[in-house]
Structure 1
C-alpha cells in the first residue's frame, strides 16, 4: 500500500535505514524488532503498526532494490544492450557502488539469500518481458535467457566484489567476463 502521509513515510524510511545500518554488521537472524526500533528511534508498537514482521520490512527493501534495478533494465531496448552490453553493466555497477553495504549484503550474503532470491526472481520476470519486447521468443525461452543473464551477472558481481581491493571492483574486468559469459550463452537464443 502506497501512502503520502509524511509521518508514515518518515517512519518507514527510519525503519528501512535502521535495517540497512544493522544489516551491515549483523546476520539476518540476529536482527530483532527491539534493536531495529531502537536504531530507528521508534517504539515497538509503532513498528507493528507498519509491519507484521522483520521479514515484511526486508521484503519491502528487496522490492525497492528490485524496482531500482528494473529501472536500469528499462533504460535501453534489449537489442541495443545485446550489441552494447556495457550499457546495463555500467549502470548496474554504478547502482551497486552508490548504495550502502547493506544493499550489497542483501544481494550477495548467504545470510540474506532468501531475499536475494526474491530480487533475482522478480528481475528475471522484468528482463524476460524486456527480451520479449525486443525478440520474438517464447515465454519459456525469454525466462531461461533472463534467468541466465541475471544469475550470471549477480554471481560474477559477487565474485568480483569479494576479490576487490579496497572494495571497488575493476569495472572493465567485470564487464569483460560478464559480456563473454553472457553473450556466448544467449547468442543461440537471440541470433
Structure 2
C-alpha cells in the first residue's frame, strides 16, 4: 500500500513537471508569435518533450489554450466569490478590472492580441455565465434580452480593458474603474461635456 502511494506520487510529480514545461513553453511562444503560428512540433521542442508526450496531455493546441484560460477563469472565480452574490455592479466591475490589471504579460497578450481573441472572448463569456449563476439581476428579462445585456456587459468590459492596455495603461486603474462605473451605470450622457 505504501509502495503504491510512493509510485503514484512520483508519477504525479512527473506529470505536473511535464505540464509545467508545456505551459511554460506555450507562454514563451505566446509572447513571440500569433496563435496560428504555434505548433505542437515547436512547442514540444521548446518544452524538451516528445510530440507524443504532448498528446498524452492535450489532444490539440486549442485544448492547451483552453486549459490556460481555464486557469485564469478559476483565479477570477476565487476572487469574485469573495464578494456577495448580489454585490452592486460597481463592486463587480472593480473586481474585474483589478483582476485583469494583475495579469502576467503572456495573459495580457492572449486577451488583447487579435489572433487570440476567440479564445479570450469565450473565457469572458464563461466568466459572465459564472457571475449570473451566482446572481442574476436581469432575471425578469426574456432569455434573448438577457443575452443582449450580458453580451454588452461582457464584451464592452473586455474591449475597454484591451483599449486601456493599447493606450499603455496611462489612465490609472482607479480612474479606469471610476470612468467605467459611470459609463455602465449612467451611460454616455453622464460623461458628456456640454459646451
Specify which of 21, 35, 39 is matched with residue 28 of structure 1: 35
What 5-or-longer segments of structure 1 have no aligned partner?
A: 186-191
Query: Structure 1's 139 and 43: CA in aligned 2 closer, same or farther, altered over 3 A?
Result: farther
Give yes or no for contact 1:152–1:178 (8 Å, CA) kept in 2.
no
What is aligned with 1:170? 172
Where in structure 2 are the equivalents of 1:62-101 lying within 5 Å?
A: 62-82=69-89, 85=90, 87-101=91-105
What TM-score, normalized by structure 2, do the two folds share? 0.78
Moved over 6 A (4+): none
Q: Say which structure is richer in helix.
A: 1
Larger radius of gyration: 2
Shift of residue 142, structure 1, vs aligned partner: 5.1
Give yes or no for contact 1:124–1:143 (8 Å, CA) kept in 2.
no
Give yes or no for contact 1:128–1:143 (8 Å, CA) kept in 2.
no
What 5-or-longer segments of structure 2 have no aligned partner?
A: 1-7, 188-195
**Partner SS, residue 49 of structure 2:** coil
Specify which of 114, 118, 130 is matched with residue 114 of structure 1: 118
Measured on the aligned residues, the alpha-carbon RMSD in Å equals 2.5
Q: How many residues align?
A: 177
Give yes or no for contact 1:20–1:100 (8 Å, CA) kept in 2.
no
CA distance in 2, matches of 1:122, 1:135: 17
Shift of residue 135, structure 1, vs aligned partner: 7.1
